[in-house]
């Protein structure tokens, strides 16, 4: 089997959400990726809003692939139990948004989910040195978080390569997830650099044949 693919629902057609979730169910995708942003609190983490728990609940009811949720919010600990109750399998929180990151990861694991750390493009990998042994996966942002359809940041290749070396030394079971600007153009190189999970939104849901695009990504 090739790399794991997680189509991002943020790029789906929300007027035909059932159709798009079913497409992913029938595809070679390994996960359904949820990008969670909020707009109703002060201290915003990203300048955008995605969708709330009613939509997530609707997706969860129809999903036949494990849910991979990426929280781009401040104080994510407020919601960990709710994501566990919805059956989320993988939950990532941002290094930049967590005051007590180790405690957040331990709580995620105690709720039966895989715990991931997400890093913004500007955040150095050295930030992970103390927390990598506690992480099930690391999500590398290859765009600045907040909006779909952005251009891939080329420096992300080197970041994935360097992270892979760190993982081999400190936590070989940890996986690397890459999110932002992923497409058939750069997928093979990302896998060569060490990526295990490819989050693809715009490149999948704007494709004329999205199931075929997912299959190609899974077999790069």
14 with 56: CB under 8 angstroms? no
CB 67 within 8 A of CB 27: no
Q: Is 35 annotated as catalytic?
A: yes
Catalytic residue among 20, 68, 179, 196: 179
Alpha-carbon distance of 156 to 183, in angstroms, equals 14
d(CA 81, CA 52): 15
Q: Please identify which of the residues 20, 35, 68, 196 carries the catalytic annotation.
A: 35
Q: List Cα–Cα distances, 183 to 70, 85, 109, 125, in angstroms.
A: 19, 32, 31, 24
Q: Is 27 strand, coil or helix?
A: coil
Q: Cβ distance 65 to 33 under 8 Å?
A: no
Catalytic residues: 35, 179
């Amino acid at each position: 089997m090739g790399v794991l693919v997680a189509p991002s629902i943020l790029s789906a057609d929300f007027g035909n959400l059932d159709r798009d979730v079913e497409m992913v169910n029938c595809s070679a995708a390994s996960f359904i990726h949820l990008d969670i942003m909020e707009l109703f609190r002060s201290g915003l983490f990203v300048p955008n809003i995605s969708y709330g728990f009613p939509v997530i609940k609707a997706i969860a009811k129809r999903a036949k692939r494990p849910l991979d949720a990426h929280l781009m919010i401040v104080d994510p600990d407020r919601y960990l139990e709710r994501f566990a109750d919805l059956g989320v399998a993988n939950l990532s929180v941002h290094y930049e948004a967590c005051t007590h990151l180790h405690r957040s990861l331990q709580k995620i694991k105690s709720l039966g989910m895989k715990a991931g750390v997400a890093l913004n493009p500007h955040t150095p990998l050295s930030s992970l040195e103390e927390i990598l042994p506690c992480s099930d996966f690391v999500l590398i942002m290859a765009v600045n978080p907040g909006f779909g359809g952005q251009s891939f940041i080329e420096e992300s290749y080197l970041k994935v390569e360097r992270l892979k070396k760190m993982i081999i030394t400190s936590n070989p079971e940890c996986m690397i997830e890459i999110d932002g600007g992923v497409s058939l153009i750069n997928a093979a190189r990302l896998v060569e650099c060490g990526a295990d999970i490819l989050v693809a939104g715009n490149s999948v849901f704007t494709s004329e044949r999205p199931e075929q695009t997912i299959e190609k990504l899974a077999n790069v």
